[in-house]
Amino acid sequence: MQAAYTTAKVVGTALLSVGLHLVLGWEATVIAGVVAGCSVDRAGWVLGACGTALGWAGLVCYSAFVSPASFRVLLDTLAAFAGTIPGSAFVGATVFLGSVLGALGGGIGGVARALFARSVSFREDGTVATR
């Protein structure tokens, strides 16, 4: 059950990153990482990285599927600018950039969760307990 719950969080992060990417731009991908980092107790950066990498990989695959000729021209042009780097390496670089943005956002979300977590609780007898 835990694996299915984690998979759902990764897919949710991927969908959020794609939506933010399409509506606000690639810079907003960090927000998806922040939300992912806030949603877990530990290692929010891993969830942010995996979710946004999946989302960006989906966008790259969508671009290649919808317009393969234009996608090939784009990769050839980028390869010509870069020199000896093959154009297909830019696909991996794109997904890696999305993963880094998601990991940064996930780390920020994990810290934000720890900062805003309730560290004081009240017991039934009226006393205060701290963690």
Tell me the percentage of the chain whose pLDDT exceeds 90: 54
Give the residue from 48, 46, 59, 50 showing the smallest Cα distance to 19: 59
Tens-digit pLDDT profile for residues 16-32 = 999 999 999 999 999 99
pLDDT-derived band at 7 (thresholds 50, 70, 90) equals confident
Tell me the percentage of the chain whose pLDDT exceeds 70: 89
What integer pLDDT is reported at residue 61 of this predicted model?
A: 93
Burial class (CB in 10 A: 0-12, 13-18, 19+), 58: middle
Query: Residue 36 has which token pair?
Result: 């992912």
What integer pLDDT is reported at residue 2 of this predicted model?
A: 72
Global pTM reads 0.81
- What does pLDDT average to over the chain? 87
Is 33 a residue whose pLDDT tops 70?
yes
Q: What are phi and psi of 86, to 5 degrees?
A: -70, 150
Integer Cα distance of 109 and 102 in angstroms? 10
What integer pLDDT is reported at residue 122 of this predicted model?
A: 66
Do 79 and 85 meet the contact criterion of CB atoms below 8 Å apart? yes
Chain centroid to Cα 121, Å, comes to 33
